[in-house]
């Protein structure tokens, strides 16, 4: 059973940056061991400013971009910014990397292909070494490098799942809070580990989950619709999905065609009505406390090191308190805290 937990969040345009540090401190005080910030340059406030504020307000929790990409910032810029975060946080920085979706699509570009992501991971390893290396035909050296910051790859489809198993320190598993879906994804990670001759303990697998706990089921479902729609839009390009999910193909197409990138994960987004209630309740956890804990137990029993909860907008402090004091106590073994010693 998973006993380590994290929080993922963005800083919305309507949210003062001044409160980021305060909330980060509360997250840490509740025992969570990782705090991820969404990198979406048009729809949310700057991720590096937010992470720095969080780092200055905390002492233990690890902090990272969840996730950045290779398109909106050059790898040397990202590596330098991450090294600065690592200094400010005294060695608590993480680098979350993905192929890019909303941040990239919102500027008219396409997500990176698998080969480019693999090269990007190799580039970051060279940069974090502090030694001179060739990067795209040019000899470079990151003067601010102090250590190999752990690299986590956001993964959902088979190729990226395998790549995380082959090369990364961690995998951020995106997809669904559904045991069948999760097992399907884990099998590809295991393939990557086997290909590279790595042991399971060489990789931290972090499942990202979105949930809303409310006695009013309809209100809970509405709460997670924006997240569910974002997932549906990304699923459209998948060549392979678990067989039981093929029935949602038409919803994936509809979501991709009408997704409003500037309203990514916004509770006010008009696109959140594009998917069915059946899909929403398959991809996210929405319902009363008892049913939500039961759903969480099903995925927490799988081979994950950590479960990270997307902290939705619209009362983040209230949501965090509910998660820490009502939900997790019913999930974790008696006497244990929400977090533990984070894996490096």
The predicted-structure confidence for 222-255, as pLDDT tens digits, reads as follows 899 888 888 888 887 788 888 888 888 888 888 8
Compute the mean pLDDT over every residue in the chain, rounded to the nearest whole number. 90
Q: Where are the domains of the chain?
A: 5-212+290-330
Q: Which residue has the higher pLDDT, 93 or 232?
A: 93
Q: pLDDT, tens digit, for every residue of 73-86? A: 999 999 999 999 99
What pLDDT score was predicted for residue 265?
Answer: 46
Whole-structure pTM value: 0.91
Pairwise CA distance, residues 277 & 259, whole Å: 17
For domain 5-212+290-330, give the fold.
Answer: TIM Barrel (3.20.20)
User: Which pLDDT score, from 0 to 100, does residue 236 have?
Assistant: 77
CA–CA distances in Å: residue 43 to residues 102, 120, 261, 320: 9, 24, 7, 22
Q: How confident is the model at residue 336 (pLDDT cuts 50, 70, 90)?
A: low
Q: What is the pLDDT of residue 90?
A: 98
pLDDT confidence of 338, banded at 50, 70, 90?
Answer: low
Residue 145, number of CB atoms within 10 A of its CB: 19
- Measured distance CA(98)–CA(105) in Å, rounded: 13
HSE-up (13 A, CA, CB side) for residue 256: 14
Q: Which helix (H) or strand (E) holds 310?
A: strand 306-310
Distances (CA, A) of 281 to 211, 212, 221, 225, 268: 10, 11, 7, 9, 19
Report the range of poorest mean pLDDT among 140-149, 152-161, 230-239, 329-338. 329-338
pLDDT number for residue 273: 58
With pLDDT > 90 as the criterion, what percentage of the chain qualifies? Answer: 73
The pLDDT score that the predictor gives to residue 344 is 34
pLDDT of residue 162: 98
The better pLDDT of the pair 260, 226 is held by: 226
Question: How many other C-beta atoms lie within 10 A of the C-beta of residue 249?
Answer: 14
Give pLDDT, residue 343.
38
Average pLDDT value for residue range 131-160: 96
């Amino acid at each position: 059973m998973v006993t380590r937990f994290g929080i993922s969040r963005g800083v919305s345009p309507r949210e003062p940056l001044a409160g980021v540090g305060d909330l980060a401190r509360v997250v840490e005080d509740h025992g969570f061991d990782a705090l991820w910030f969404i990198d979406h340059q048009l729809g949310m406030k700057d991720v590096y400013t937010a992470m720095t504020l969080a780092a200055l307000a905390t002492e233990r929790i690890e902090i990272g971009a969840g996730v950045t990409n290779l398109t909106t910032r050059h790898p040397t810029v990202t590596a330098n910014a991450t090294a600065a975060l690592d200094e400010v946080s005294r060695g608590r920085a993480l680098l979350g990397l993905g192929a890019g979706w909303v941040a990239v699509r919102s500027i008219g570009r396409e997500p990176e292909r698998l080969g480019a992501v693999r090269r990007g991971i190799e580039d970051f390893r060279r940069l974090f070494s502090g030694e001179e290396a060739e990067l795209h035909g040019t000899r470079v050296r990151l003067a601010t490098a102090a250590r190999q910051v752990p690299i986590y790859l956001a993964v959902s489809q088979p190729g990226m799942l395998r790549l995380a198993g082959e090369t990364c320190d961690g995998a951020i598993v995106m997809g669904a809070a559904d045991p069948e879906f999760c097992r399907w994804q884990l099998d590809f990670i295991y393939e990557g580990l086997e290909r590279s001759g790595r042991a399971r303990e060489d990789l931290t697998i972090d499942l990202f989950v979105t949930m809303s706990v409310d006695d009013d089921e309809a209100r809970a479902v509405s709460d997670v619709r924006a997240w569910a729609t974002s997932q549906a839009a990304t699923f459209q390009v998948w060549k392979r999905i678990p067989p039981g999910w093929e029935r949602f193909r038409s919803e994936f197409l509809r979501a991709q065609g009408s997704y409003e990138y500037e309203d990514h994960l916004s509770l006010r987004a008009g696109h959140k009505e594009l998917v069915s209630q059946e899909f929403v309740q398959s991809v996210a956890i929405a319902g009363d406390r008892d049913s939500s804990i039961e759903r969480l137990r099903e995925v927490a029993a799988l081979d994950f090191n950590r479960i990270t909860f997307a902290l939705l907008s619209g009362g983040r402090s209230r949501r965090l308190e509910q998660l820490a004091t009502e939900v997790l106590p019913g999930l974790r073994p008696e006497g244990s805290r929400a977090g533990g010693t984070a894996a490096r």
